[in-house]
Amino acid sequence: MLIVLMLVVCVLAFSPRAPSLDIDNADKWQHLLAFFCLGSCAVLSQAPGWRSLVAAGLGMLAFGVFIEAVQMHLPARSAEWLDVAADSAGIALGLLAAATARHLWPAPLPSF
């Protein structure tokens, strides 16, 4: 699931025309939401523990910086540090949500 989400984010981030909502700062909200999903999925895809939490957060932050670095070289896109800040906020919220969910429901889900 994490890899699929990362691919979807790449397609959206690298496409010539970014999807947009009709609200103020829609781009930043989209970054926050995308990285909330990525951050929580990254945590839940690893074993529980602080090291996994930190690794997931740093990995997703590196992914966000990678996206902005690629966008610097795309003619129809631009890179912004505020996007990385929105990514970071989404990651932090996603890590918090996933860690809280793990704490409240520690039993693993059955695999199919």
> Mapped to the 3 state alphabet, what secondary structure does 39-101 carry?
HHHHHHCCCCCHHHHHHHHHHHHHHHHHHHHHHCCCCCCCCCHHHHHHHHHHHHHHHHHHHHH
In sequence order, what are the residues at sequence separation of 6 or more whose Cβ sits closer than 8 angstroms to the Cβ of residue 70? 13, 14
Domain range summary for the chain, segments of one domain joined by + = 28-103
Question: What would the pLDDT profile of 40-87 be if each residue is shown by its tens digit?
Answer: 999 999 888 899 999 999 999 999 999 999 999 999 888 899 999 999
pLDDT higher than 80, residue 109:
no
pLDDT higher than 90, residue 26:
no
What was the pLDDT predicted at 17? 77
